[in-house]
Structure 1
């Protein structure tokens, strides 16, 4: 098949029945491939890719955060796998030694896929059925896809009639698509993390820091969910985030999230990725108060710093006594990501009245998560960390010296570990 950017000239879009789909007709040996992550995974296409890999030959795949276990270690026989994260089923790939990690800020992933070493040849994308103007909404995931689609020589779209038509500038026309595959199946879902007494306490502490009218960015996991539950009495909050889920919908329905005070995208909730269940899928469908945007926008420092009182809430695996963050490695295994933490913390630091927050339980499996030295890499520098929150309190590191940081961080460690931490700090 002729591709759009390989000298073959513009190609006419081809429609293929999913039962007759043979990806070896389109994907070439040596191709670099990517697809939508989490709920945006085009499952019919990815399932066909792994099932038919022997027909295609060796290829590279750059994958995001998975909501399924489509990719398995045994698929590394013909698929070279890389990702920016080790979360979800990627953890099994990393533990099997078949997942290479890109340790960059999430804001650089669009460059990586469009102009960098992982410039993609083929994009597999899940879209909603076309609207009245013939445009296919990206539905549940724009983020890194828009840049990849513009760079790719081949775009294969799974048109799933159960995907919402979300507003956003990243929608496609048939001129952007080479192959159409029509399906009808529930999108992958991401369910809320189970709460714990520690996460609930942390969520309340953070919620009490948030002023009415603030704009929120939330990471993924139990603590952001707990923060949202603690905000039910607030007014006129806004959302500008890499991802949103069911918890944001709860606050919209309560009238808490209105976006009325946002200085950018006033009245509109902005996210690059939908990570939830049918509840949030229904919420974003044809909703003009929601916009699906790409990473170059959601993670832009200029956009973030221009927001009104941006509160960035991100997690960590451990924090050392100087404020350095490890968000990637636990127990020697790659389980997290550099991600967008530093992007959002820097944006919040530049926002008038903004709060750059890192939150984590004080312990994991009996071990302190506030540590003398990190057991993994420095994912976020101590210069970029503002507030650190555990269930035992809040420390604002901004303006503190190293000695002052050590003292204050020990105060929010678990009481069982404070004496040992103080001894390690030399006092």
Structure 2
């Protein structure tokens, strides 16, 4: 992708990063580009450094850097796919909610934390800008904190700030942070979104995953009222609903009047919208994915997508055609939260096909990212299948009804084989 790259930071990282150190930084729009660029430039002097990636949107790190650096990631999104396809990315198939505990226990090792932050306020506090999530836990344990202070990073409200005294090295920068390209939606995605929008009640608290289908759903909710948001990520679709008066966060049951997320992923307009906006707050993963918090939200409606689902409700959100492109992520956390929420709705929405291949299958071609016990409501452009409380045979019948009509006969024949023992 074309990047508005600032110059590499004038910092000798080898002075701060020891052999075998674990290094982590903000993902997606929150990547500190001067620092990551410096890491790429100096990689030959950082042999054995263990880099944990979120959504690596910049693509500054490539398979060529793997001779010195060791890459792991919770997802195969964005530029991570290139690393995965080259065989140099070691995926971490863990639920998103587990990251803070893994960081604190040292299992997910964070010795050096690279941050992109806003300028300090009068109290000497920097905002974490575009991501809080598991960075807050990393901030608590990191030996070294290197901060890129960027005057174009928004000041966002939340529960974590960085005191200037906690910074070991500060690098000044001035450039527009990365923005997330808009997803393209077509008639299939809009058809799915129409079905989902009919399910969403006024006053619901929304969580939306990433991708074309969740974004299409948000675009279809403009006539709803008193919606709220509590999500891992917030993008342009949420901003649009807030500006239109459809999403006011007035009926959530907690955080009255405030939308909550862990990360902002959107355009520069979203970044400007979030700046000093008391109606939007970034929180730690321990809060955004907390099961008790999710259960307390009114009509918590989790809307996520998948690569494929089987006829009993098992979800593969990680592997497509042999490539690691997705993640376990937070879908399972949010779906379970929706099950427990009063009036909650756990939704997985996806197109019925990918090309000529059915995305509703008799048996998954990849791992089980979300179990069938956490399944709820599945939606394709062909309808809605509510699996809650259904036996296996009833589930199969419902799932066949939302598969592509051209695929149903073959799926029904494959379903004749026992599926009860599926993982």
TM, length-normalised to structure 1: 0.95
> What CA distance in whole angstroms lies between the structure 2 residues aligned with 1:116 and 1:325?
30
1:400 equivalent in alignment to 2:390: yes
> What CA distance in whole angstroms lies between the structure 1 residues aligned with 2:36 and 2:332?
31
1:255 equivalent in alignment to 2:245: yes
- Give the aligned partner of residue 284 of structure 1: 274
- The residue matched to 2:326 in structure 1 has which SS? coil
- Do 2:9 and 2:37's aligned partners in 1 also have CA atoms closer than 8 Å? no
- Do 1:18 and 1:182's aligned partners in 2 also have CA atoms closer than 8 Å? no
Within-5 A mapping of 1:69-88 = 69-88=59-78
1:221 equivalent in alignment to 2:211: yes
> What CA distance in whole angstroms lies between the structure 2 residues aligned with 1:406 and 1:335?
27
> What CA distance in whole angstroms lies between the structure 1 residues aligned with 2:370 and 2:46?
40
Within-5 A mapping of 1:314-325 = 314-325=304-315
1:113 to 83, 103, 109: 103
Within-5 A mapping of 1:133-148 = 133-148=123-138
- Give the aligned partner of residue 325 of structure 2: 335
- Do 2:8 and 2:38's aligned partners in 1 also have CA atoms closer than 8 Å? no
- Give the aligned partner of residue 353 of structure 1: 343
- Give the aligned partner of residue 376 of structure 2: 386
- Give the aligned partner of residue 413 of structure 2: 423
> What CA distance in whole angstroms lies between the structure 1 residues aligned with 2:9 and 2:321?
44
Q: Structure 1: state its 5+ residue gaps.
A: 1-16
- Do 1:357 and 1:387's aligned partners in 2 also have CA atoms closer than 8 Å? yes
Q: Could you list the runs of 4 or more consecutive aligned residues of structure 1 that deviate by over 4 angstroms after TM superposition?
A: none
> What CA distance in whole angstroms lies between the structure 2 residues aligned with 1:62 and 1:113?
11
Q: After TM superposition, give the deviation of residue 19 of structure 1 in Å.
A: 5.2
- The residue matched to 1:28 in structure 2 has which SS? coil
Q: After TM superposition, give the deviation of residue 365 of structure 1 in Å.
A: 1.7
> What CA distance in whole angstroms lies between the structure 2 residues aligned with 1:221 and 1:37?
16
Pairwise CA RMSD: 1.2
2:175 to 185, 191, 201: 185
- The residue matched to 1:406 in structure 2 has which SS? helix
Q: Structure 2: state its 5+ residue gaps.
A: 1-6, 418-423
- The residue matched to 1:358 in structure 2 has which SS? strand
1:129 to 109, 119, 143: 119
- Give the aligned partner of residue 37 of structure 1: 27
1:411 equivalent in alignment to 2:396: no
- Do 2:132 and 2:284's aligned partners in 1 also have CA atoms closer than 8 Å? yes
- Give the aligned partner of residue 200 of structure 2: 210
- Give the aligned partner of residue 89 of structure 2: 99
Deviations along 1:220-239, one digit per CA (max 9) or x if unpaired, are: 01111111111110111000
- Give the aligned partner of residue 8 of structure 1: none
> What CA distance in whole angstroms lies between the structure 1 residues aligned with 2:10 and 2:189?
48
- Do 1:319 and 1:326's aligned partners in 2 also have CA atoms closer than 8 Å? yes
Number of aligned pairs? 411
TM, length-normalised to structure 2: 0.96
> What CA distance in whole angstroms lies between the structure 2 residues aligned with 1:110 and 1:175?
23
Q: After TM superposition, give the deviation of residue 58 of structure 1 in Å.
A: 2.1
Q: After TM superposition, give the deviation of residue 114 of structure 1 in Å.
A: 2.4
Q: After TM superposition, give the deviation of residue 20 of structure 1 in Å.
A: 2.9
